[in-house]
Copies of this chain bind each other. A is one copy, B any other.
Amino acid sequence: MTIAEGDMVLIALPDGTDFIVQATNDGYVSTHMGNILFAELIGKEFGSFIDVGRRKAYLFTPGIVDHVFALQRKTQVVYPKDMGYILLMLDAKSGDRIIECGTGSGAMTLALARSVGKTGKVYSYEKNARFLKNAEENVRLLGLHDCVVFKNSDIEDGIEESNADAFFLDVPDPLPVLPGMISTLRGGGRFCIICPTANQVQDVLKELRKEPCTRINVWETFVREMKTNPDRFRPEDKMVGHTTYLVFGTRTIWKES
């Protein structure tokens, strides 16, 4: 695979720093190891390297997870440790219609968009116009804009879609929008609610008792990175202690009484 104009390229510096750029004929990225001209990337093979100063930087295809780590440096995002589990538990797949609120950094939008593909659709609600614009740009850069409909509005003002396959809810106060969220799902549709605090989970669990849903479960995820020296194999000294609790459930057609 050869890098063509317009391709997204991950430049992996030898010190572990990554840069994600678009290969164009002009412009450059300035790194602490020296400048890299975008034009230099075109025609190189993915997996090969370019020289940066006296060292080598590898050129790779950026993955969703690389984009997410890049976004993570700028804003609060859903962490990879949670993202993979959420996609699996929502059973996000080709052809699905999935509602997201709010868009935020757009990290989860990217992951959902790629899961539903061109035969599906992500409807992403966000009140903050600036957030929405950023997320739209990221989605466009990854060529996923056909898979997403962005909506600059508050879901408290209503959700236009119905019969959705899944709902991903990541808002500061999920309580008032729970009934609306459930009602947009088809029977068997799945939801995930981000709740950073125990108080929110407790409130959400109480509220969900009134709603037509079942198979409620709550999880925390952890990942622990290991040092890669085979002669001194051991976990890293620090790890992420908490990001959020994840509340999952499934829409029923009739409420259990």
Is A250 engaged at the interface, CB distance under 8 Å to the other chain? yes
- Residues 100-121 of chain A: 1 if any B CB is under 8 Å from the residue's CB, otherwise 0? 0000000000010011010000
Instruction: Please tell me if the beta carbons of B219 and A225 are within 8 angstroms of each other in the complex.
Output: yes
A215 proximity list for chain B (CB < 8 A)? 12, 58, 60
Instruction: Please tell me if the beta carbons of A48 and B232 are within 8 angstroms of each other in the complex.
Output: no
* Contact A228/B242 with A85-B81, A199-B233 known, Cβ cut-off 8 Å: no
Instruction: Please tell me if the beta carbons of B241 and A47 are within 8 angstroms of each other in the complex.
Output: no
A87 proximity list for chain B (CB < 8 A)? 84, 87-88
A156 CB to nearest chain B CB (Å): 22
Is A32 engaged at the interface, CB distance under 8 Å to the other chain? no
Instruction: Please tell me if the beta carbons of B230 and A47 are within 8 angstroms of each other in the complex.
Output: no
A81 CB to nearest chain B CB (Å): 7
A89 proximity list for chain B (CB < 8 A)? 63, 65, 80, 84
A253 proximity list for chain B (CB < 8 A)? 45-49
Q: Please, which residue of chain B has its CB at the minimum distance from the CB of A56?
A: B256
Is A186 engaged at the interface, CB distance under 8 Å to the other chain? yes
How many copies of this kind of chain does the complex include?
4
Q: Could you tell me which residues of chain A, from 52 to 111, have a CB within 8 Å of some CB in chain B?
A: 56, 58-61, 63-65, 80-81, 83-89, 91, 93-94, 111
Is A194 engaged at the interface, CB distance under 8 Å to the other chain? no
A197 CB to nearest chain B CB (Å): 5
A190 proximity list for chain B (CB < 8 A)? 63
In angstroms, Cα B51 to Cα A147, docked, is 39
Q: Can you spell out 17 A-B residue pairs with CB atoms less than 8 angstroms apart?
A: A12-B215, A46-B188, A49-B252, A58-B214, A59-B188, A61-B188, A63-B88, A63-B190, A83-B88, A85-B223, A87-B88, A94-B117, A115-B115, A199-B232, A219-B224, A219-B225, A225-B241
Interface residues of chain A, those whose CB is within 8 Å of chain B, are 1, 12, 45-49, 56, 58-61, 63-65, 80-81, 83-89, 91, 93-94, 111, 114-115, 117, 163, 186-190, 196-199, 201-203, 205-206, 214-243, 245, 250-254, 256
Interchain residue pairs A-B with the least CB separation, the first 5: A47-B187, A84-B84, A63-B91, A239-B241, A235-B242
